[in-house]
Homo-oligomer: A and B are copies of this chain.
Amino acid sequence: MSHTLDDPDTPFLALDRSTVAANITRLRRHLDGLGVTLRTHVKTAKSLDVAAMLDHGRPVAITVSTLAEAEAFAAAGYRDIVYAVGIAAHKLPRVLALRQRGVDLTVLLDSVAQAIAVGAAGVPALIEIDCDGHRGGVPPHGPELLEIARTLVDSGAEVRGVLTHAGESYFADGDDALRAAAENERRCAVEAAENLRAAGHEAPVVSVGSTPTAHFAADLTGVTEVRAGNFVFFDLVMAGIGVCTPADLAMTVVATVIGRRPDKGWILTDGGWTATSRDRGTARQRVDQGYGLVADLDGRLLPDLLMTDASQEHGVLSIRPGSTAPLPDLPIGTRVRILPNHACATAAQHDRYHVTAPGSRTVTDVWPRIKGW
């Protein structure tokens, strides 16, 4: 591979390999210190090559958001997979096909109806616990948890344990709130597991996780594994809640200036929402970053320049409202990088990464992404 970030037709994703490595090392060290295993969520990168950076190319325990991810990782030798979206019964044949190939694929559920179907299929399951009212799950106390577990066991399936996700931590404000979210996530999961064990279930797995709580957890007593995905790339939403800084963002969208409207204060690029996604996750944070911060091709941020609007194949760059910074002189043809609000959503718009060496524009590799469901 001999080309550089100046060569591919824009828009495309650039991925800084050394930043990914640093982000992985940072979370691994933190979790090693807490004595708990990392079960990386591959939904952000959806890349065998990024996952290979987790442990020197060796297959590790992973979390997936789609069966397409499970199938791709299984084909690459991964054998310990949690599918962390509530199971729909019609997807069980694909789950069983993977299990028959020797993959320990565990599913997630939070209802008796699902437990009946999963039990009949004989698939081990984690029971989803609601720790913060964010999405699905049953309370850590109460009859639903035990009823689901009983249903599984009665059909001969294994209650693998409990799983919870502190989804509300993405809206936490400040270190104290993040530490509290992490402790609440831990406490709910451990209490649920203890309630299962008191009822005679082994429930060996106590799985928690989100990138904010994974980084802010100070004690994970009773937890057996932490799931996190975004941490490999990070994004402006994570920077906004204080989990990282913009310098930690490993993935950017490269776009080209295709127009200038000085009368409007606009620079137009060929990076529209097909390239960035429509995600406006920072809009509800203290600092709204529009569709993203803008850097030059070497990664230097352009002062107070944001991608402020998007249509299908056009991005609009303009100065942050309230700033007196001048609109930079970016001639037509200039390439820029957009730092995304939400790495998962931006990456999902693309089918590959252009991987760069540290401090260089040289593209060393092109890594494909797993698509579909």
Contact = CB atoms under 8 A, between A and B. Distances in A.
A277 B259 CA distance: 27
Interface in A309-342: 311-314, 316, 331-333
**Interface residue range, chain A:** 35 or more
A114 B332 contact: yes
A319 to B, nearest CB: 18
Given A113-B331, A278-B279, A256 B312 contact: no
Contact of A10 (B88, B136, B261, B332): B88
Contact of A278 (B65, B87, B110, B278): B278
Nearest to A255: B88
| Chain copies in the assembled complex | 2
Contacts of A11: 373
B333 A351 contact: no
Contacts of A156: none
A171 interface: no
A226 interface: no
A69 to B, nearest CB: 10
28 contacts: A9-B88, A9-B90, A9-B373, A10-B88, A12-B373, A85-B258, A86-B258, A86-B268, A86-B270, A86-B314, A88-B270, A111-B259, A111-B260, A113-B332, A114-B258, A133-B264, A135-B268, A135-B316, A136-B258, A136-B268, A136-B314, A274-B348, A274-B373, A277-B277, A278-B279, A278-B345, A312-B345, A348-B349
Interface in A96-154: 110-111, 113-114, 133, 135-136
Nearest to A84: B313
A270 B313 contact: no
A366 interface: no
Interface in A259-287: 259-261, 264, 268, 270, 273-274, 277-280
Given A256-B90, A373-B11, A314 B85 contact: yes
A273 to B, nearest CB: 7
Contact of A88 (B113, B256, B264): B256
Interface of A: 9-12, 43, 65-67, 85-91, 94, 110-111, 113-114, 133, 135-136, 167, 256, 258-261, 264, 268, 270, 273-274, 277-280, 311-314, 316, 331-333, 344-345, 348-349, 351, 371-373
A47 B60 CA distance: 39
Given A259-B86, A273-B345, A314-B135, A113 B333 contact: yes
A89 B6 CA distance: 12
A312 B279 CA distance: 11
The 7 closest A-B pairs by CB, nearest first: A278-B278, A86-B258, A136-B259, A113-B332, A88-B256, A85-B313, A278-B279
Given A280-B278, A373-B9, A333 B88 contact: yes
A261 B9 contact: no
B371 A312 contact: no
A117 to B, nearest CB: 8
A319 B328 CA distance: 46
A367 B373 CA distance: 17
A43 B273 CA distance: 13
A216 B218 CA distance: 61
Contact of A259 (B9, B110, B167, B332): B110
